[in-house]
Amino acid sequence: MARKLAVIGAGLMGSGIAQVSAQAGWDVVLRDVTDEALTRGTDGIKASYEKFVSKGKLAADDAEAALGRITATTDLDAVADADIVVEAVFEKLEIKHEIFRTLDKLVRDDAVLASNTSAIPITKIAAVTERPERVVGAHFFSPVPMMQLCELVRGYKTSDETLARAKEFAESVGKTCIVVNRDVAGFVTTRLISALVVEAAKLYESGVATAEDIDIACKLGFGHAMGPLATADLTGVDILLHATSNIYTESQDEKFAPPELMRRMVDAGDIGRKSGQGFYKH
């Protein structure tokens, strides 16, 4: 298998995907629109490698070699010879459309175009390209170096070959894949966590139980590593509000209608760990 990967977006997800891929021997082009974003991304990768080295989980030479396989650039043309392109930008369909239209003109005919979206139907993203059969969902989980799962999503026109190549890539960087055969908004994982977070937020909003007790119930009653409200704070209440709203718009299923409390929290800037306040104080 050829080993040239392009990652579009050097945020937390994009830099994480670049990190695990370079460590697994892929040559990686990491592209973002500003030098500042690229510096932030590559500094994060460097720090993560150093942490693995200090814990004895990665040899210093291997970390250095992996860093050497990552090229950071603001030039989108650098994707031209990539075998696989993974888009990891903000969850807004218009932005993804703009990127996929451009990628469609730049990449090789046999390249696989993957999106790391967690909630937007792949068919909608693929529709702006001339090669919808070569577009697939490859939803990695944060933090990418630690989380084992990759959710592969078949769009309405995704070919078996494209799905197989995406699976081969994800497994080559150490991930276990699940396949989503029907392109429903939110796929499997985002639908499950959204339904749980929405219900947990409603229970909290109506005073049924405290945030702590709702989370303890899920941890001790269901064996979850982290409760839904703590998960919302970690992921970002704004991100989950966006995801649940997307799924609700697509499905019109009431269980995904985000409660008013989540909207007000986002309006007030209480979006979780990154702002210091969400369902918990951080």
What is d(CA 246, CA 27) in angstroms, rounded to the nearest whole number?
Answer: 34
Known binder of ligand: residue 48? yes
Find the helix or strand (DSSP H, E) in which 63 lies: helix 60-68
- Candidates 157, 182, 149, 154; CA nearest to 166 is 154
Known binder of ligand: residue 255? no
Report whether 264 contacts 202 (CB < 8 A): no
Known binder of ligand: residue 124? no
What is d(CA 278, CA 147) in angstroms, rounded to the nearest whole number?
Answer: 23
Spell out where the chain has E strands. Answer: 4-8, 27-31, 70-73, 84-87, 112-115, 135-140, 149-154, 176-180
Nearest-5° Cα angle at 91, 123 to 18: 95
Residues belonging to the binding site for CoA are 48, 55, 118
Residues belonging to the binding site are 48, 55, 118
